C-alpha cells in the first residue's frame, strides 16, 4: 500500500473515531437535560414503564406542578423567593463594593494596593467552599446563624467581581479621558460617577451575571447557615424534597410525599433561572469566550 | 469594546468549576500593549476610600474566618491553648483517613479525566472547520454548567436510578437493576467524577478552545508544510503551548475536588444511608460541628482543607504565569 493511501486510510478511520467521540460527548452532555425536561410531563408510573423520551401529557404536567407547589403548603414557592432574595440582595451589595474597588485598584495608587491585589487573586482562585465552615464558626460567634444576613453578607464578598472590574478599568478606560475630566474641574468622585461608571455598564452586567449565577447555585453555605426550612433557598429545599420522595427514601411515604416527576420538576425549577440566563446570553457569552481567539 | 468581549470570556462560573473563564480575559489583557504609565504620585487619591468597603468584606469573610478557624483549631473547648490536641483527635478518628481516601480517589479520577478528555475535545472541536458545528458543540458541552450544586446532583440521581433513568437499559446491561446497586461505595468516586465532569468540563473545553485560538496561524501552517499530521500537530505544537492552561485547570480542580460535599451529602439522603454522611472530609467537618458539637475539631479539619486550597492557589498565583504579576 502506498503511503498516501495508508495515511488516507488512517485519516478516514481517525476521522470516524473522532466523529463518534463528538457524538458520544454531545449525547453525554445533553441526554440528561433533555430527559429531565420530558420527565416532568409524565406520571411516576409512566416514568418507569414508558420509553425514556416519550412525552407525557399537559394534564399530567399540570398535576405535577400542583403537587410540587402544594408540598408543605407552598414551601417551594417560598424557597424560590428566598433564593431570589438572597441572590439579588447579595448582587446589589457586590456591585456597590466591587465596582469602586476594581476602579481604585486599576486607576489609583494607595498603600497596600499590591497586598490587596494579591489577596484578591488568591481568594478568587480558592474554591468558595473552603471558607464556608470558617465563616459559619465566625457567624456562630457573632450570633448571626439563621439570619438572612449570614448568607447575604458572605455572598457579597466576591473577589472575582473585583478582579473583573480591575481588568476592565485598567485596559479599556483611556486615562487621558479621566485626566481631561479632572482638568475640566471634576472632583475625583465625579470622575468616577460621571465618566468611569457610565462607561462601565458592560462589566457591571458581567459581575452581576456571575454573582447571581454563583449565589443562586450555592448549596453548602445556606445549608450550613440556615437551620429552618422557612429560610431555605431552592437548592437546599431540593434536599428536603428528596427526603420526602418515597422512591428514594421509602420511610417517607405519607400524605406529604413527593413523586419522582414532581422532584424532577423541582430540579427544573431550581435550575431554570440560570439556564435561561445562559441561553439568552449565549451569543454574548460564547462570543466573549472565544473573542481574542478568533483571529479574523 | 474588545475588552468587553474579552471580559465576558469569564463565563461559566459555578461553584464547582471556579474560574473556568477567569483566565481568558486575563490572557487577552496580557497580550495587549502594556498599560499606560501610572498617574503621577501626589495626585490626591480616593483609592483608600473606594476600596474601604471591599477591604472590610475581605477581612470579615476572608481573613478573619480563616484566622478564627485557626484559633479554634489550636484551642480546646474552654479556650485553653492546645496546639495539637484537635488535630490528633480528628486524625485519630477512624473516619478521617477513610474520608481522605475517598476524596483522594475521587479527585484523582476526576482530574485525570479532565486532563485527558478536556484537552482531547478542545483540540477536536478546534479542528472542526464548519463554524456552526464547532460553535454548537461548544454550547452543548457548556450548557450543563448552568446546573451546579444540588441541581446537577438531583439530575444525576435520576440518571443513576435504573427504574427511571434515560439510560436504564444501559445500566441494566451493566448488571445494575436497582439504585442501591448502582451507588455501591466502590462506585462512588467514579460517579462523583462523572457528575463533576458533566457540570464542569464544558467550561474548560471552551477555555482551552480559546487558548488554542491564540496559537499563531503561522506556527500551525509551518508545521503542516513540514508534513506534520493533525495528531503530530496536537502532540508537538498544541499540547506544549496549552501547558499553562492545563496546569491551571489541574490546580483549580484539585483544590475544588478536595472540598467534595454536596454530591455525597445528597446521595446519602437519597440512599437512606447506604452512602454514609461522613463520606468526605467536608462532611466530616460538618458532622463534628453539628452532630458532635465539637467546633474545635470541625475547625481543625476546615483548617487542613483551607490550607490545601490556600497553598494551591497561592503557588499558582506566584508561579502559574497566567496572571499579570508585574502590576500585581
pLDDT beyond 90 at B123: yes
Residue scoring higher pLDDT (B48 or A290): B48
**CA–CA separation, A7 and A249 (whole Å):** 57
CB contact under 8 A, B256 and A127: yes
pLDDT of residue A296: 24
| pLDDT tens-place string over residues A203-214 | 888 888 889 989
pLDDT of residue B20: 38
Mean pLDDT of A239-255: 82
Unique residue bearing C-alpha cell 467546633 = B295
How close, in Å, is residue A190 to chain B by CA atoms?
Answer: 11
pLDDT band at B206 (very low <50, low <70, confident <90, very high): confident
CB contact under 8 A, A119 and B217: no
pLDDT band at B274 (very low <50, low <70, confident <90, very high): confident
CB contact under 8 A, A29 and B140: yes
Kindly state whether A186 is in contact with chain B, defined as any CB-CB distance less than 8 angstroms: no
CB contact under 8 A, A130 and B327: no
CB contact under 8 A, B164 and A260: yes
Q: Which of A16-20, A53-57, A149-153 has the highest mean pLDDT?
A: A149-153
| pLDDT tens-place string over residues B220-256 | 999 999 999 888 999 999 999 998 889 889 988 999 9
pLDDT of residue A278: 82
* Percentage above 70 pLDDT, chain A: 90
**CA–CA separation, B22 and A124 (whole Å):** 9
Which of these ranges, A14-18, A73-77, A148-152, has the smallest mean pLDDT? A14-18
pLDDT of residue A283: 60
Residue in chain B lying closest to A294 (CA): B213
pLDDT beyond 70 at B284: yes
pLDDT beyond 80 at B325: no
Q: What global pTM score does this model have?
A: 0.85
pLDDT of residue A2: 47
pLDDT band at B192 (very low <50, low <70, confident <90, very high): very high
67-96 in A: which are within 8 Å (CB) of B?
A: 96
Kindly state whether A58 is in contact with chain B, defined as any CB-CB distance less than 8 angstroms: no
The per-residue b/e assignment along A260-278, b for 16 or more CB within 10 angstroms, e otherwise, is bbbbbbbbbbbbebbbebb
Mean pLDDT of A146-166: 94
pLDDT beyond 70 at A286: no
pLDDT beyond 90 at B306: yes
CB contact under 8 A, B310 and A126: yes
DSSP of B103-132: HHHHHHHHHHHIIIIIHHHHHHHHH--SHH
Mean pLDDT of A157-163: 93
Which of these ranges, A244-258, B56-70, B264-278, B298-312, has the smallest mean pLDDT? A244-258
Kindly state whether A273 is in contact with chain B, defined as any CB-CB distance less than 8 angstroms: no
Average pLDDT across chain A, whole number: 87
Mean pLDDT of A49-58: 89
Mean pLDDT of A27-33: 94
Question: Within a 10 A sphere around the Cβ of A165, how many other Cβ atoms?
Answer: 26
Which of these ranges, A216-225, B175-184, B304-313, B316-325, has the smallest mean pLDDT? B316-325
Chain A residues near residue B11 by CB distance under 8 angstroms: 285-286, 288-289
For A30, counting Cβ atoms within 10 Å of its Cβ (0-12 exposed, 13-18 middle, 19+ buried), the class is: middle
B239: left (phi over 0), alpha (psi -120 to 50) or beta: alpha
**Residue among A26, A30, A264 minimizing CB distance to B158:** A264
Asked whether this complex has an ipTM greater than 0.85, the answer is: yes
Mean pLDDT of A19-45: 93
CB contact under 8 A, A162 and B54: yes
> Packing angle between helix A58-70 and helix A75-107, nearest 10 degrees?
80
Which of these ranges, A94-98, A134-138, B160-164, has the smallest mean pLDDT? B160-164
- For testing contact with chain B, the best of A124, A130, A175 (most B CBs within 10 A): A130
pLDDT band at B262 (very low <50, low <70, confident <90, very high): very high
Mean pLDDT of B105-116: 96
Average pLDDT across chain B, whole number: 83
pLDDT beyond 50 at B10: no
Residue scoring higher pLDDT (B53 or A13): B53
Please compute, for residue A167, the number of CA atoms within 13 A of its CA located in the half-sphere on the CB side.
Answer: 35
How close, in Å, is residue B47 to chain A by CA atoms?
Answer: 5
Q: Which of B52, B56, B86, B54 is nearest to B69 (CA)?
A: B86
pLDDT band at B45 (very low <50, low <70, confident <90, very high): confident
Question: Is there a contact between B298 and B281 (Cβ–Cβ < 8 Å)?
Answer: no
Phi/psi at A30 (5° precision): -95, -35
Mean pLDDT of A143-168: 93
Which of these ranges, A60-69, B62-71, B132-141, has the smallest mean pLDDT? B132-141
How close, in Å, is residue B302 to chain A by CA atoms?
Answer: 7
- For testing contact with chain B, the best of A6, A34, A43, A133 (most B CBs within 10 A): A133
Residue scoring higher pLDDT (A25 or A16): A25
pLDDT band at B96 (very low <50, low <70, confident <90, very high): very high
pLDDT of residue B152: 93
pLDDT of residue B30: 44
pLDDT of residue A40: 94
How close, in Å, is residue A73 to chain B by CA atoms?
Answer: 22
Element (H, E) at A210: helix A201-217
Q: For B183-294, where are the alpha helices, taking DSSP H only? A: 188-213, 217-225, 230-233, 239-241, 243-257, 262-270, 281-290
pLDDT of residue A8: 61
> How many Cβ pairs within 8 Å bridge chains A and B?
402
Question: Within a 10 A sphere around the Cβ of A100, how many other Cβ atoms?
Answer: 25
Q: Which of B139, B199, B183 is nearest to A271 (CA)?
A: B199
Mean pLDDT of A187-211: 89
pLDDT of residue B230: 86
Residue scoring higher pLDDT (B66 or A255): B66
CB contact under 8 A, B68 and A206: no
CB contact under 8 A, B28 and A291: yes
Residue in chain A lying closest to B64 (CA): A138
Kindly state whether A144 is in contact with chain B, defined as any CB-CB distance less than 8 angstroms: no
The three grid cell numbers given for residue A286, joined into one nine-digit string: 460564547
Chain B residues near residue A217 by CB distance under 8 angstroms: 14-15, 147-149, 151
Which of these ranges, A278-287, B180-189, B272-281, has the smallest mean pLDDT? A278-287
Mean pLDDT of B172-198: 91
The torsion angle over the Cα atoms of residues B115, B120, B121 and B126, rounded to 10 degrees, is 120
CB contact under 8 A, B54 and A98: yes
The torsion angle over the Cα atoms of residues B13, B17, B18 and B19, rounded to 10 degrees, is -60
Mean pLDDT of A91-112: 94
What domains lie within chain B, and their CATH numbers?
Answer: 97-320 (1.10.3720.10)
Which of these ranges, A10-14, A196-200, B153-157, has the smallest mean pLDDT? A10-14
Residue scoring higher pLDDT (B46 or B60): B60
Amino acid at each position: 500500500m502506498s503511503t498516501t493511501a495508508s495515511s488516507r486510510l488512517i485519516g478516514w478511520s481517525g476521522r470516524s473515531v473522532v466523529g463518534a467521540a463528538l457524538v458520544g460527548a454531545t449525547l453525554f452532555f445533553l441526554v440528561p437535560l433533555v430527559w429531565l425536561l420530558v420527565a416532568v410531563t409524565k406520571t411516576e408510573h409512566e416514568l418507569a414503564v414508558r420509553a425514556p423520551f416519550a412525552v407525557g401529557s399537559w394534564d399530567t404536567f399540570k398535576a405535577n406542578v400542583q403537587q410540587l407547589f402544594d408540598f408543605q403548603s407552598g414551601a417551594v414557592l417560598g424557597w424560590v423567593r428566598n433564593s431570589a432574595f438572597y441572590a439579588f440582595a447579595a448582587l446589589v451589595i457586590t456591585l456597590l463594593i466591587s465596582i469602586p474597588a476594581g476602579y481604585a485598584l486599576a486607576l489609583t495608587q494607595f498603600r497596600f494596593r499590591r497586598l490587596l491585589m494579591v489577596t484578591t487573586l488568591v481568594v478568587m482562585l480558592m474554591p468558595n467552599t473552603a471558607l464556608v465552615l470558617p465563616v459559619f464558626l465566625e457567624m456562630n460567634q457573632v450570633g448571626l446563624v439563621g439570619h438572612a444576613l449570614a448568607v447575604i453578607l458572605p455572598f457579597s464578598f466576591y473577589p472575582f467581581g473585583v478582579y473583573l472590574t480591575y481588568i476592565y478599568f485598567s485596559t479599556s478606560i483611556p486615562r487621558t479621558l479621566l485626566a481631561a475630566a479632572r482638568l475640566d474641574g471634576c472632583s475625583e468622585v465625579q470622575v468616577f460617577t460621571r465618566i468611569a461608571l457610565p462607561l462601565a455598564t458592560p462589566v457591571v452586567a458581567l459581575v452581576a451575571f456571575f454573582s447571581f449565577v454563583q449565589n443562586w447555585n450555592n448549596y453548602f453555605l445556606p445549608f450550613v447557615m440556615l437551620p429552618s426550612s422557612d429560610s431555605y433557598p431552592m437548592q437546599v429545599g431540593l434536599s428536603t424534597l428528596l427526603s420526602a420522595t418515597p422512591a428514594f427514601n421509602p420511610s417517607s411515604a405519607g400524605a406529604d410525599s413527593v413523586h419522582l416527576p414532581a422532584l424532577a420538576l423541582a430540579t427544573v425549577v431550581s435550575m431554570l433561572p440560570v439556564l435561561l440566563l445562559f441561553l439568552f446570553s449565549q451569543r454574548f457569552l460564547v462570543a466573549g469566550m472565544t473573542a481574542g481567539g478568533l483571529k479574523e | 469594546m474588545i475588552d468587553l468581549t474579552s471580559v465576558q470570556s469569564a463565563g461559566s462560573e459555578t461553584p464547582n468549576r471556579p474560574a473556568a473563564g477567569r483566565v481568558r480575559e486575563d490572557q487577552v489583557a496580557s497580550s495587549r500593549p502594556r498599560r499606560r504609565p501610572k498617574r503621577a504620585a501626589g495626585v490626591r487619591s480616593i483609592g483608600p476610600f473606594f476600596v474601604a468597603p471591599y477591604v472590610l468584606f475581605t477581612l470579615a469573610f476572608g481573613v478573619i474566618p480563616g484566622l478564627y478557624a485557626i484559633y479554634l483549631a489550636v484551642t480546646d473547648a474552654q479556650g485553653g491553648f492546645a496546639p495539637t490536641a484537635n488535630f490528633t483527635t480528628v486524625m485519630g478518628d477512624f473516619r478521617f483517613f477513610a474520608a481522605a481516601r475517598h476524596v483522594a480517589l475521587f479527585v484523582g479520577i476526576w482530574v485525570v479525566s479532565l486532563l485527558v478528555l478536556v484537552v482531547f475535545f478542545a483540540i477536536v472541536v478546534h479542528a472542526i472547520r464548519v463554524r456552526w458545528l464547532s460553535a454548537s458543540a461548544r454550547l452543548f458541552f457548556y450548557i450543563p454548567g448552568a446546573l451546579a450544586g444540588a441541581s446537577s446532583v438531583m439530575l444525576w440521581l435520576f440518571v443513576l436510578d435504573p427504574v427511571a433513568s434515560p439510560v436504564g437499559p444501559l445500566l441494566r446491561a451493566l448488571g445494575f437493576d436497582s439504585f442501591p446497586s448502582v451507588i455501591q461505595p466502590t462506585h462512588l468516586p467514579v460517579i462523583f467524577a462523572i457528575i463533576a465532569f458533566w457540570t464542569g468540563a464544558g467550561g474548560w473545553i471552551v477555555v482551552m478552545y480559546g487558548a488554542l485560538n491564540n496559537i499563531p496561524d503561522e506556527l500551525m501552517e509551518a508545521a503542516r508544510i513540514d508534513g506534520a499530521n493533525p495528531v503530530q500537530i496536537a502532540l508537538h505544537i498544541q499540547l506544549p503551548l496549552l501547558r499553562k492552561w492545563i496546569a491551571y485547570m489541574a490546580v483549580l480542580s484539585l483544590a475544588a475536588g478536595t472540598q467534595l460535599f454536596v454530591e455525597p451529602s445528597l446521595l446519602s439522603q437519597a440512599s437512606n444511608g447506604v452512602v454514609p454522611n461522613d463520606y468526605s472530609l467536608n462532611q466530616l467537618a460538618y458532622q463534628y460541628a453539628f452532630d458532635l458539637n465539637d467546633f474545635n475539631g470541625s475547625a481543625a479539619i476546615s483548617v487542613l482543607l483551607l490550607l490545601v486550597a490556600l497553598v494551591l492557589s497561592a503557588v499558582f498565583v506566584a508561579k502559574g504565569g497566567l496572571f499579570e504579576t508585574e502590576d500585581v
